[in-house]
A and B are shown apart, each in its own frame.
Chain A
Amino acid sequence: MEHSIIDPVRTLGNGRFGAYGGRYVPETLMAALQELERAYAAVREDQAFQGELAALLKDYVGRPTPLYFAKRLSESLGGAKIYLKREDLLHTGAHKINNALGQALLARRMGKQRIIAETGAGQHGVATATVCALFGMECVIYMGEEDMRRQELNVYRMRLLGAEVRGVGSGSATLKDAINEAMRDWVTNVRTTFYILGSALGAHPYPTMVRDFHRVISREAKQQILEHEGKLPNAVIACVGGGSNAIGAFYEFIPEPNVRLIGVEAGGRGTALGEHAARFSGGLPGVLQGTYSYVLQNDAGQVATTHSVSAGLDYASVGPEHAMLHDQGRATYTSATDAEALDAVKVLSRTEGILPALESAHAIAEAIKQAPKLAKTDVILVNVSGRGDKDMGILAREMELKGAGA
């Protein structure tokens, strides 16, 4: 499936990451994807656009984010030094704002005033609602009803920001189903509407574009770790739902062969299909929602339901660039269970006074496993993709259930 029959404008490469990626969409969307590809290729080289984006990232979003040495966490584990890239300190509380801002600026340049988006944990929805408020754009957010229940506070935030939140009750009522509904809206209103996709997945050019908007994470982190330590980290760890924060955190380190890249998927509550969202251990290559990548599915090709305590990781497929990095062996993908993630929230909160999002806690959980195996002079860099305020309801329930007290 790597061939091309007609030769569209391919300024961003061919939309392939090895065998993965591509465009598997209803024909109605193709003109819009090609228009988007051309518009994005133009702003990529446009100094005025890049300058405006950089200024907003600095003054509105709060970049650069700190790279923080987690001394007490590192000492308590007795191994490698752990540094935290503090994307949780960004405006709206997660890395998602990097991409939402970039795409909203692009939408404005393309003259599209109606914005749609989907959201799982609500962080991308909040980021999109925020930038729509900033630019005075109409905003509709699709969210699975199960996720609306789990992330009620973010639903309120989006509504307060002026967005319409549309609940999706079909399927598993989570992120996958919200994306289906957002794509249906886009197919219907494609001439007037810009779809701000929230992760590094979907049809070309989204995986490339979203990655580019998040590249700033590793660009900053690479420079910061050199300033702190005078060397590159031994490992970079990030959680992987769709994979946007991870590809942003990995990207500038990919050409550095001595830096291990570790993506952490949601191990959920078990290894049976439906109990987790670990695509690389439980999935097979397939097509879901416009892209060819690893997909959790049954032997008839039906997309499996998934489970994770964190709504943002609860997704049946994964960004195609991660699929390529996995097959190449350049990145390693592992998983943390719900219980391990909940423990990691507690550990980081109590050693560093930092309450991570449940998504980011999966990456912390992996760092907790890795650090003791390494020397005290080794360095691990963990991307704290978001903060945990949004998860307080679920944390209170889960930790009470576990008898840990709240």
Chain B
Amino acid sequence: MPIQFSKKPGLVIYLTAGDPDLATTRQIAIAAIDAGADVLELGVPFSDPLADGPVIQRAMERAVGRGVRLTDVLTLCKEIRTERPQAGLILFSYLNPVLRMGLESFCAEAKAAGADGVLLTDMIVEEAADYMAAMKKHGLAPVFLAAPTSPDDRLKAIAEHTEGFLYAISRTGITGVSSTLSDDASKLVQRIRQFTDKPIALGFGVSNAEHVRAVGEYADAAVIGSAIVAIIEKSTPQEAPTAVAEFVRGLRG
């Protein structure tokens, strides 16, 4: 299933798998897809999520505390794929849980679970040869990140090696909601455009309809993470799917 953005801008929705519990994450995921999410990023809970801000960090801690494992996330991925075959599904992880399972086993199981691609926060292109070979072998898209601090030679390499879409980080910093999008964001997307026609999704700090509209002027998709995770944190498990669906519907104005 190739990753496709049906409307402009496309919506990529991040969920920490297992927060508040796996069954609720599945319901939230389906509700988000039905409300207009093109791609779901399923976050694998990790003990040391150093690229993430406090909201996602707390969600990771809760899920790790419940004993949620990479294998559980793969099962969840398969369930969502079965119920909503059209959605884009990306596994979002830090490297260590993947290494623990083994790169080859992970890629084989991710493919079997119906994932379209994988995003590893702490995997940079220079270190990724074995990873990309395994991903290619199993027909999975490696999604790489580009930052405002990345010089042009790095953007070129990132653009070349990313598949599915390229994840542009709107600002220096960790994940989290911000009131305005930084000027860095549009400049970065323009710089990346020199090197590729692949879809570019912009994330970090994207948290409301106004942001999504602004992102749509220069990027192909917006990634919303912390704002969703914060809604889940504030809701009961019963309320969360509806609350997230309402929020996602409102994002395209």
Contacts and interface: CB of A to CB of B under 8 A. Distances in A.
Contact of B147 (A28, A176, A184): A28
B122 interface: yes
Contacts of A27: 124, 144-147, 149-150, 154, 158, 169
Interface stretch (B1-9, B92-100, B212-220, B241-249): B92-100
A171 B47 contact: yes
B138 interface: no
Contact of B98 (A30, A301, A302): A301
Nearest to A26: B51
A300 interface: yes
Given A8-B126, A189-B172, 5 more contacts: A24-B127, A26-B50, A27-B144, A297-B96, A301-B70
B197 interface: no
Interface stretch (A59-67, A254-262, A286-294, A377-385): A286-294
B235 interface: no
Contacts of B150: 27, 30-31
Given A30-B150, A171-B48, A24 B172 contact: no
A277 to B, nearest CB: 15
B99 A301 contact: yes
B153 interface: yes
Interface string B95-111: 11111110000000000
A190 B149 contact: yes
A169 B202 CA distance: 31
B46 interface: yes
B122 A301 contact: no
Given A23-B127, A31-B149, A302-B64, A286 B47 contact: no
Contact of B48 (A25, A189, A190, A289): A289
Contact of A176 (B48, B70, B153): B48
B151 interface: yes
A200 to B, nearest CB: 19
A22 B53 CA distance: 24
20 contacts: A1-B131, A3-B129, A4-B129, A5-B126, A5-B129, A6-B153, A24-B122, A24-B127, A25-B124, A27-B145, A30-B150, A30-B154, A170-B61, A171-B61, A187-B51, A289-B48, A301-B96, A302-B64, A302-B97, A303-B47
B85 interface: no
A191 interface: yes
Contacts of B27: none
Given A3-B129, A187-B172, A302-B64, A30 B95 contact: no
A28 B130 contact: no
A334 B103 CA distance: 30
Contacts of B94: 287
B186 interface: no
